[in-house]
Chain A
Amino acid sequence: MLLPEPSEVLPEELAGLWRGQFGGPAPRPLAPRETVEGYGTFTFPYGPISMGVPESGRFDVVTYGERILELAPLGGYKQRSVLAALAGTPVEDAALRIERIAGNFSAAHVAAFLAAAESARGLRVPVVELWTRALAQELQRIYNHIHVLARIAEAASQNVGQAQTHALAEEILRLQARAFGHRWLFGALLPGGPARNLDRAGRHALSEAVRTPAREFDDLWELYLDSRVFVDRIQGTCPVPREVAVRWGAVGPTLRACGVPWDDRLRVPEAPYNDLFVALAREHDGDALARLLVRVQEVRASFLLIEQMLDRWPADVSLSEAPSPPVRPGRGVGRVEGPSGDLVYDVSVAHDRIVSVAARTPSQANWPVFAFGMRGAVFTDFHFAFESFGLVFAETDR
């Protein structure tokens, strides 16, 4: 090492600050680390507060000045101890906290949690309720994918494009508010939540209303593809080889962009997906462009799914389905395909109260793959790469 360690030249307190340590609990590594050393390398702490990543989390960038030799994402800054504090709360109250773990993935989280809790309690679920959950999840998937496209366009300085795409995302939020009473679907899938607008007239209005954003999205994407600057910038950025994605358990668009045909909606088709046509999105290059292409295909697939759902909405409200069998009495597992990937909840319940909850979130699975893909990238690749994975610190700091 050519450069002295900060603790050799600075008092301990300042050396800690130099490393980006501010007191409080120590940050938690989100990806395995390899120690990279060499002539002139140093660690550059990015975060926990930065406008580039609008969440609090830190990245330790090991670099010699231009290339990123290693990137270590560190979480724990917004550890809210949500799951640990759930023991003893009634299942419905716990669901209110679960959906606030990651606000932009709320429908997926609450659907997986409810499926696990229903399996643990052996409750039959009304079929209409399953369809409503799927509808909410597809809307939220569209929102998140469009948001990712807008953020990447923002990083690529596609000013008109990012404004138009952010506007489209806002239109989806307003659609969610109109159909489910809440812009982020909080409470919308729970008993006693905000009033839904999904009766026959509401469904008709929704199916009319989703046509405009679907068409606008297609127009926008065509314009993006015409922009050589935009496509060039993300092509080959942060590539993840298929073996790495499989070995480290990547999920969602990240995995499908490496050519692995894995989508939880197709794994064991459950209601309502067993009744609908689900298109599998897949690409092969594993770079930021491939991940974006998968998301674009999924937006189209989700618009198609919504159209099918609203067209074939179950007429008989009295129908119900048995939950998936419990792992053992009082303990169930729920699994859904969230916007960023496969999401699993493991819930133990006794006397309608939570005993323990564990979760495997898509961000948790994808952080190591992101860190791997960033090796050898340059600084300016960071935002394109980060946004293309759809990572959320709130999902790991739970």
Chain B
Amino acid sequence: MPSWIEQAAHRGILTSRYPRERGSDAEVPPTGRAPVPSASAGPTGAAIAGCPVGAIGPEGVEPGRCIRCARCLAHGYRFGGPVEASFRAPPGRAGPEGADVGDEPAPLAPLGRSLHLFLVDVGSCNACNLEVLALANPFYDVSRLGLFFTNSPRHADVLLVVGVPTDAMVEPARRAYDAMPFPKAVVAVGVCPCSGGAFRGNPGLRPSLGDILPVDRFVPGCPPTPVQILDAVLRVAGRARREE
């Protein structure tokens, strides 16, 4: 009779080589990346008009508003943005390369190598929640990096916030933040806390999580892949993957 141990051994090692190596295509499918114009062609009127969330403007693509619906692929765009693309500020029209890589402050660097994560949903569709929880599965296995999920904000160092902030969740989210000990960091996961995503402008919603909490990293994507969430968490700890 087979046992759990045999079953696990039979499947072998599943764990990602991230952050030692770049996120693979299996980990970050094309829709995990921001669209970029494929040729030198700037944004055409058709591409701007065809974007259902207004993420394409005359200056380029704003990743913090893109919901990866792929409509712009018909207008000469392709999903070719960087794999690790998170932002310090609420994303403006920074362009696909606007992710500030390298010298950004790492608020949790003093904590050394172990961090505890707490998930707060302020109005998501559940996809981002599941992508955050997927960090614990054997494919990503964040405990190998000293990251753990905790059940109380009082034990948490990083608040992972998913969803577009609704009026009803403003106060609970603030309380969760206040309950955390210093030093602490907030990572906004998904396009919804960046800009409202697909629901931008609906009644009862706040335009950005930055209006409610001091956010350290915004991770765009609808939803971002676990590797990208992991990258943002490591970045606030000063442990991001460096390009050799």
A contact residues vs B (CB 8 Å cutoff) = 22-25, 27, 48-52, 54-56, 76-82, 84-85, 93, 96-97, 100-104, 106, 147, 160-161, 163-164, 166-167, 169-170, 173-174, 177-178, 181-184, 186-187, 190, 192-195, 216, 219-220, 222-223, 226, 392-394, 397
Q: Which residues from A are CB-within-8-Å of B137?
A: 163, 166-167, 169-170
For residue A27, which residue of chain B has the nearest CB?
A: B168
Considering only CB atoms, which chain A residue lies closest to B133 in the complex?
A: A54
B138 and A167: CB pair below 8 A? yes
Q: Which residues, 85 to 116 on B, are CB-close (under 8 Å) to A?
A: none
Assembled-state Cα–Cα distance A190/B150 (Å): 38
Contact of A24 among B129, B139, B170 (CB under 8 A): B170
Further pairs besides A190-B69, A223-B2: 10, Cβ < 8 Å: A51-B152, A80-B199, A85-B203, A100-B198, A103-B128, A163-B8, A163-B137, A181-B70, A183-B131, A187-B31
Are the CB atoms of A51 and B124 closer together than 8 Å? no
A161 to B70, CA, bound (A): 37
B225 to chain A, nearest CB (A): 7
Please tell me if the beta carbons of A186 and B199 are within 8 angstroms of each other in the complex. Answer: no
* B154 is an interface residue with CB less than 8 A from chain A: no
0/1 interface trace, chain B 116-153, chain A, CB 8 Å (1 if under)? 00111111111111111110111100000000011111
- Set B29, B153, B198, B203: member contacting A181, Cβ < 8 A: B29
Indicate if the CB atoms of B67 and A223 lie closer than 8 Å: no
State whether the Cβ of B164 lies closer than 8 Å to any Cβ in chain A.
Answer: yes
Q: Which residues of B contact A193 (CB under 8 A)?
A: 69-70
- Contact (A100, B199) CB under 8 Å given A56-B169, A164-B11: yes
**Neighbour of B125 across the interface among A56, A100, A223, CB < 8 A:** A100
Q: A147 → chain B, closest Cβ, in Å?
A: 7
Interface centre among B175, B176, B222 (most CB of A within 10 A): B222
Q: Given contacts A51-B119, A184-B223, A187-B68, is CB(A194)–CB(B166) below 8 Å?
A: no
Known contacts A80-B123, A80-B199; decide if A223 and B69 are in contact (CB<8 Å).
no
CA distance A397 to B68 in the complex (A): 23
Q: Is the CB–CB distance between B7 and A164 below 8 Å?
A: yes
A48 to B172, CA, bound (A): 7
Please, how many angstroms separate the alpha-carbon atoms of A271 and B73 in the complex? 30
Contact call B138/A163, Cβ cutoff below 8 A: yes
Task: Say whether, besides A219-B7, A223-B2, A104 and B204 are in contact (CB < 8 Å).
Answer: no
Majority SS at the chain B contact face? mixed
Residue of B4, B11, B73 with most chain A CB atoms under a 10 A cut-off: B4
Q: Dominant SS at the A interface?
A: loop
B183 CB within 8 Å of chain A: no
Contact bitstring B70-84, A, C-beta under 8 A = 1, else 0? 110110000100000
Query: Cβ of B5 < 8 Å from any Cβ of A?
Result: yes
A56, B119: Cα distance in complex, Å: 10
Of the candidates B8, B122, B151, which one forms a contact with A160 in the assembled complex, judged by CB atoms under 8 Å apart?
A: B8
25 pairs across A/B with beta carbons < 8 Å?
A49-B121, A49-B153, A49-B173, A54-B130, A54-B132, A55-B124, A77-B166, A80-B202, A100-B127, A102-B126, A103-B127, A160-B7, A163-B138, A164-B7, A166-B136, A166-B138, A167-B14, A169-B134, A173-B134, A177-B31, A186-B67, A192-B71, A223-B3, A392-B126, A397-B123
**Counting CB contacts under 8 A, is B193 at the interface?**
no
- Cβ B168 vs Cβ A22 within 8 A: yes
Known: A81-B204, A167-B137. A55 touches B129 (CB 8 A): yes
How far does the alpha carbon of A173 sit from the alpha carbon of B30 in the complex, in Å?
14
Q: Does B163 contact A (CB under 8 A)?
A: yes
- Residue numbers in A under 8 Å from B130 (CB-CB): 54, 103-104, 147
Contact of B176 among A49, A81, A82, A183 (CB under 8 A): A49
Judge if B52 is at the interface, Cβ distance under 8 Å.
yes
Known: A181-B30, A182-B68. A24 touches B171 (CB 8 A): yes
B41 sits at the interface (CB 8 A): no
Query: In the complex, what distance in Å separates the CA atom of A101 from the CA atom of B163?
Result: 11
Q: Which residues of B sit under 8 angstroms from A102, Cβ to Cβ?
A: 125-126
Instruction: Specify which of A84, A85, A182 is in contact with B31 (CB 8 Å cutoff).
Output: A182
A194 near B70 with CB under 8 A, answer: yes
Instruction: Indicate which residue in B5, B31, B199 contacts A194 across the interface (CB closer than 8 Å).
Output: B31
Q: In the complex, are the beta carbons of A85 and B122 less than 8 A apart?
A: no
> Would you call B46 an interface residue if the criterion is a C-beta within 8 Å of the partner chain's C-beta atoms?
no
Q: Are A80 and B205 in contact (CB under 8 A)?
A: yes
| Residues of chain A contacted by B67 (CB below 8 angstroms) | 96, 100, 186
Residues of the A chain whose Cβ atoms lie less than 8 Å from the Cβ of B124: 55, 78, 103, 394
A160-B4, A164-B8, A181-B31 given as contacts; is B129 within 8 A of A96 (CB)?
no
**B178 interface hit (Cβ, 8 Å):** no
B55 → A minimal CB distance (Å) = 12
